[in-house]
Amino acid sequence: MTGTPKALRLHIGIFGRTNTGKSSFVNLITGQSTSIVSPIAGTTTDVVRKSMELLPIGPVTFLDTAGINDDSGLGELRINRTHEALNSSDIAILLVEPGVWTKYEEGLVADAAKQKTPLILVINKTDLYVDSGVPSIGKDIDSTHTMHVSCISAEKNPAERELIMQEFKRIILTLCPDEFLDPPTILGDLLPSNVVCPHVVLIVPIDLQAPKGRIILPQVQSIRDALDFNAAVSVVKESEYPMFLKKLAVPPDLVVCDSQVANRMVADTPKDIPCTTFSILFSRYKGNITTLAEGAATIHRLKAGDKVLIAEACSHHPLEDDIGRVKIPTWLHEKTGLNLECTHAAGKDYPADLSVFSLIIHCGACTLTRRETLWRIEQARSTGIPITNYGIAISVLQGVAERTLSPFPEALDAYQFVKHDSERGATP
């Protein structure tokens, strides 16, 4: 993580008057005592940087700044440093004490707005007002970006830290500039860099479910991505693939197929040719492939009666042999031999309480943004419920996940770790 270039890390600046609890807040979020905390105003005298991995966003750097008071008479240098910190912040956090709103806060909100830096207002030390009620700061600030926290209570009660972290991540994910959520490439980075014009073979079934006269968007996007990486692309039906492979003088550098024919592709493709599915490529492009692969391994540890949520991001008209409603529940039953309770949720019906489920199998989320998909993954992760998606689940159900995940070593490791754990009969 420390190797992540500076520009690719989200910088979160922590601002506030002296003693509002900035250093306590940074320590609480990072889970480390990096910044010195003390009741003496002006403890932090220069910007203290702390980097961490904040899932699901990735690497972030917190800038704990020196507190400023209207009458502090602090050195100009310190004030300039704090302003520089605002310039380097992608998101600013303003810590205040309940009921206190001065020219300083007014100025910081105005400066952040001028720079178009998203701002989170953290009203700290709420524990001091448990009897009297937290006084309002008398300012109308967007309440969706406001958190009420108490660093001291969270220190004493670790469950509160979890709640604060969840709320904090939700707000950060909402405000995070798009470039930090930019997806990796679809497939270009899987191609060998030392081969001139690498060759990608895409296996595209043309069956009843294929739209008439065209190929679907993920396939088009994969072709475009391959071209962006100066690769050649062949598109072939699964029935013609074995013959096509035989005709090639040089083996392809990557083969990608529709999830539903993954077992055929694996059987027909020599072991030294990397192969995967479109859905797996898009697990990474849209979400977090490692978390989704780890979640898929839960299929190996399901027990009779377990509840499985099959979630679809849009409410399309279900087909006769619908993948979410018919095929996946049937394959799950065939693979595990268990009677499972499969619940479906489509569109906006996504359940608020995920804790009753043993596994969530989500659709490919083609109508959701990467931000929305990451948030759904994070919601499941923070509730401790494994989550996967149709594509990876189908590879597991077909018994070919080890092969189709192999182009993504981290995801494969996560999958195998949980799978082997289940085989040894260990509980999570």
Ligand X SMILES: Nc1nc2c(ncn2[C@@H]2O[C@H](COP(=O)(O)OP(=O)(O)OP(=O)(O)O)[C@@H](O)[C@H]2O)c(=O)[nH]1
Nearer to ligand SF4, 52 or 346 (CB): 346
As a whole number of angstroms, the distance between CA 205 and CA 236 comes to 8
| 16 belongs to the binding site for ligand X (CB under 6 A) | yes
As a whole number of angstroms, the distance between CA 128 and CA 130 comes to 6
Single residue of 19, 117, 276, 395 touching ligand X by CB under 6 A: 19
Positions of E strands within 16-81: 48-54, 58-64
- Residues making up the chain, counted from first to last: 428
Stretch near ligand SF4 under the rule CB under 6 A, chosen from 54-62, 147-155, 202-210, 313-321: 313-321
As a whole number of angstroms, the distance between CA 167 and CA 387 comes to 20
Residue 42, binding choice from Mg ion, ligand SF4, ligand X, none, Cβ under 5 to 8 Å by partner class: ligand X
Handedness of CA 405, 409, 415, 419 (dihedral sign): positive
Residue 41, binding choice from ligand X, ligand SF4, Mg ion, none, Cβ under 5 to 8 Å by partner class: ligand X
Q: How far is the CB of 78 from Mg ion (least distance, A)?
A: 12
188, two tokens:
């270009």
Stretch near Mg ion under the rule CB under 5 A, chosen from 15-23, 199-207, 210-218, 237-245: 15-23
Nearer to ligand X, 24 or 290 (CB): 24
Q: Which amino acid is at 428?
A: P
Q: How far is the CB of 66 from ligand SF4 (least distance, A)?
A: 47
127, two tokens:
């524990």
Report the site for ligand X in 93-132 (rule: CB under 6 A): 124-125, 127-128
391, two tokens:
């594509």
Single residue of 130, 163, 243, 366 touching ligand SF4 by CB under 6 A: 366
Query: Which residues, listed in sequence order, are joined to residue 13 by a DSSP beta bridge?
Result: 63, 92
Report the site for ligand X in 150-209 (rule: CB under 6 A): 150-152
Stretch near ligand SF4 under the rule CB under 6 A, chosen from 22-30, 143-151, 252-260, 309-317: 309-317
As a whole number of angstroms, the distance between CA 359 and CA 238 comes to 31
Positions of E strands within 98-243: 119-123, 146-148, 199-203, 232-236
| 313 belongs to the binding site for ligand SF4 (CB under 6 A) | yes
Cα Dmax for the chain: 81
What three-state secondary structure class fits 307? Answer: strand
Nearer to ligand SF4, 338 or 366 (CB): 366
Residue 169, binding choice from ligand SF4, ligand X, Mg ion, none, Cβ under 5 to 8 Å by partner class: none
Residue 20: left (phi > 0), alpha (psi -120 to 50), or beta? alpha
Place of tokens 């060998």: 192
| 258 belongs to the binding site for ligand SF4 (CB under 6 A) | no
| 378 belongs to the binding site for ligand SF4 (CB under 6 A) | no
- The number of beta carbons lying within 10 Å of the beta carbon of residue 78 is 19
8 A C-beta contact, residue 92 and residue 112:
yes
| 82 belongs to the binding site for ligand X (CB under 6 A) | no
Q: How far is the CB of 82 from ligand X (least distance, A)?
A: 10
Quick note: the x/- pattern for Mg ion over 29-58, rule CB under 5 A, is: --------------xx--------------
Residues of the shown chain interacting with ligand SF4 in the complex, contacts defined by CB under 6 A: 312-314, 316, 363-367
Residues of the shown chain interacting with ligand X in the complex, contacts defined by CB under 6 A: 16, 18-24, 37-39, 41-44, 67, 124-125, 127-128, 150-152
